[in-house]
Amino acid sequence: MGYTNDMRTYKYQIRNHPQNKRLGNMLDDLADVHNHFLDLEKRYYRIYGKYAGRYRLQPHLTKLLQRTKQHWVWIPRDTLDAVIIRLHIAWQRFFDWQKKGNLKGRRVGTPKHKAKYKFRSAKFQTGYRLQDGRIRISFKAWDNNSHALKFERIYFSFHQHRDWSGDVRYIQILRDSVGTYWLYVVTDNTAKEVIPATGESVGVDFGMKDAYLTLNTGEKIQHPQPLKASLKQLRQLNKSLSRKIKGSGNWWRAVRDLARLYNKVANQRRDWHWKLATDLCRRFDLIAIETLNLEGMKRLWGRKISDLSFYQFVEILKFKCFKHNRELRQVGQWTATSKPCSDCGRQNKNLSLSDRQWICSECGSHHDRDINAAINILRGCLESSVEQM
């Protein structure tokens, strides 16, 4: 999920109830819709050499609902349409990325077939009502007496731990990997919460070894203890999974435990990212960071980078900086930040990834690798040739 500047998303857990299986059935059916239209697009392309797009597919859906796919009709129409629109956008994104010459940005793939259990979310623009911690969804059902479809209103209650602000644009129902259902309320709240200026700037280095973040002030920010403990548990569980016989009862149990723990880690980390971003915004007017080169980092570090999830943190930081009127700058991708000595500017060409401390051969300064980089990042951003975000 992205954090855009003109929308806010509020997340609530839907209380467990046997009724929730309706939501599960709906998502399963939506997976069918997704796969059906994905196949259709591919077939259309083979025959006509171009893609059909949503404006051809949506009228086609109308026909399907009358003929061969009548069993989809119980789901609100705009929720079915949203699946087609999502596919449309995914293809668009793929074409845009192709046009750019395959060189810039993250690799974008074509939309893929989805297994039912992997189909996670449904969007509602109409056909729902929110009130007093409950959500009412208008499904349709065949009525044998009147021989017609009639509305069947189903209520789901959710844990409304806080109120949303702004007008609700749409809602989403999500199913996570452990079978919990969530309600996302998306509003158009764009109110800024301006924090008084502090006159301070900071350079931030993302680290893999000593600290998660290192500031040019010398401050090192580590993973919080509960998250560290969960990450350790995650490693242990992964190891124990690999010792089990694939497909056995114990193996399945470990898979389930792993999914549950992975969720917990993701939540803990997201909470911490929000706190961290808030803290930086409170203390600094200008925040300078390096440019993340995700593909490069993945090559260099393997899986670890996705675990550390700097990408998510930067997305949250962008949103927070917008909200609190802070300036976020990224130092140019080709600006060297590790090797130059921050005191005299001499490049330490022999610096390797394992050198955590070094002494400048020119001026004799003793450097902590990450602090030195954070100082260079801030300096790089304050100079003229910066990419402003």
Indicate the residue among 28 and 343 with the shorter CB distance to Zn ion.
343
Nearest CA to 284 out of 376, 199, 193, 381 is that of 199
CB of 204 to Zn ion, least distance (A): 22
CB of 362 to Zn ion, least distance (A): 5
CB of 387 to Zn ion, least distance (A): 27
Q: Which two tokens stand for residue 46?
A: 């083979």
CB of 358 to Zn ion, least distance (A): 10
Amino acid at 100: K
Nearest CA to 321 out of 358, 364, 276 is that of 276
b/e burial code for range 195-205 (CB count within 10 A of at least 16 → b): beeeeebbbbb
Sheet-wide strand order for 213-215:
220-221, 213-215, 201-206, 286-289, 327-330, 387-388
Q: Residues touching Zn ion: how many (CB under 5 A)?
A: 8
Q: Which of 26, 57, 341, 373 binds Zn ion (CB under 5 A)?
A: 341
Query: Does 362 interact with Zn ion (rule: CB under 5 A)?
Result: yes
Indicate the residue among 76 and 340 with the shorter CB distance to Zn ion.
340
Part of the chain binding Zn ion (CB under 5 A), chosen from 134-142, 160-168, 327-335, 345-353: 345-353
Q: What φ, ψ does residue 152 adopt, rounded to 5°?
A: -125, 110
Q: Which of 94, 343, 351, 382 binds Zn ion (CB under 5 A)?
A: 343
Q: Which of 363, 366, 383, 387 binds Zn ion (CB under 5 A)?
A: 363
How close are the terminal C-alpha atoms of the chain, in Å?
19
Part of the chain binding Zn ion (CB under 5 A), chosen from 14-22, 100-108, 305-313, 338-346: 338-346
Helices 225-243 and 249-283, packing angle to 10 deg: 160
Q: Which two tokens stand for residue 154?
A: 């189903």
CB of 167 to Zn ion, least distance (A): 56
Q: Do 330 and 381 contact (CB within 8 A), yes or no?
A: yes
Q: Which two tokens stand for residue 347?
A: 């490049």
Neighbours of 231 (CB within 10 A): 17
Query: Does 336 interact with Zn ion (rule: CB under 5 A)?
Result: no
Site residues (CB under 5 A) for Zn ion, limited to 110-139: none
Part of the chain binding Zn ion (CB under 5 A), chosen from 116-124, 227-235, 303-311, 360-368: 360-368
Query: Does 353 interact with Zn ion (rule: CB under 5 A)?
Result: no
CB of 348 to Zn ion, least distance (A): 8
Q: What x/- string results for residues 17 through 36 when contact with Zn ion is judged by CB under 5 A?
A: --------------------
Query: Does 344 interact with Zn ion (rule: CB under 5 A)?
Result: yes
Query: Does 366 interact with Zn ion (rule: CB under 5 A)?
Result: no
Neighbours of 209 (CB within 10 A): 9
Q: Return residues touching Zn ion (CB under 5 A).
A: 341, 343-344, 346, 360, 362-363, 365
